[in-house]
Amino acid sequence: MGKSLPEFNDIEIDFNFARANEQMILVCFFDMQQRPSRNCISRLVEWAGQIRQNEISVIAIQATKVDLNSLNEWLKENNVPFTIGTIQDNEEQVRFNWGVKSLPWLILTDKKHIVIAEGFSVNELYEKIVR
């Protein structure tokens, strides 16, 4: 809390931070093989329009090793419109570095990309945005 997002070291991701300039960022660490994570991503997909209206960039990171073909198929089936990253190696260390205590794990930044909330449920997102 109160610090910039960590570097995306050991996370395979194609995200343009310059494009997200002056936008809040929501990072969601998830595991597509876990029901609570799938539900979280589904809710974020449902709210994608509202999220964009609030000028929030979403990054979803598959936090456990998974077959990339299966992941891509699941993302396509569920019409996930967000930038997706994957942790390729050192999953436990990367999650530790990011402070991830359970999955799904949400991290929200302000427009200067300073963390303002973490570890909250997807149902609390709107409350975190408007404070």
Domains of the chain: 26-130 (3.40.30.10)
Side by side, the strands of the sheet bearing 83-87 are 11-12, 83-87, 56-62, 24-30, 105-109, 115-120
Rounded mean pLDDT of 106-130? Answer: 93
pLDDT band at 131 (very low <50, low <70, confident <90, very high): low
Q: pLDDT of 63-113, one tens digit each?
A: 999 999 999 999 999 999 999 999 988 999 999 999 999 999 999 999 999
- The predicted pLDDT at position 7 comes to 85
CA-based nearest residue to 108, from 120, 93, 92: 120
Per-residue tokens: 97: 């570095």
Per-residue tokens: 108: 């929200």
Q: pLDDT of 11-29, one tens digit each?
A: 999 998 778 888 999 999 9
